[in-house]
Amino acid sequence: MAALSKSIPHNCYEIGHTWHPSCRVSFLQITGGALEESLKIYAPLYLIAAILRKRKLDYYLHKLLPEILQSASFLTANGALYMAFFCILRKCFVCGLERSCSDGFCFVELLWNLL
Ligand SMILES: [Zn+2]
């Protein structure tokens, strides 16, 4: 296990989120950015599709917003969970394996400490 941790000499700040040293802050920034960009993508896309399909007023009032939010939340979760698990797995392999990862509690502890 020590050989595995020594083969990866960089922390996640150096190779994952180079704009901020904190994993939590980087996770929140990625989540906010992903949400903003996904809304910019899906809101016009669903609106144009609804106009081209000549949807009725009922669709715009009751279905358009939930569909936009569903797609935007999926894309946001994709970006946010990528960064979260990058840091979690990085910490588990670099730090956790040197301690006591075999009992299964280190993953929960690392997740708790990260978030
Ligand atoms: Zn990190």
pLDDT of 67 strictly over 60: yes
Distance 39 CA to ligand 1 centre (A): 25
Going by the DSSP 8-state scheme, the letter that residue 54 receives in this structure is T
Distance 12 CA to ligand 1 centre (A): 5
Distance 112 CA to ligand 1 centre (A): 13
Distance 18 CA to ligand 1 centre (A): 9
pLDDT digits (tens, 9 = 90+) for 68-110: 999 999 999 999 999 888 888 887 776 655 554 554 555 556 6
In SS3 terms, 18-33 reads as CCCCCHHHHHHHHHHH
Q: How many other CB atoms are found less than 10 A from the CB of residue 110?
A: 20
Q: From its phi and psi, is residue 105 left (phi > 0), alpha (psi between -120 and 50) or beta?
A: alpha
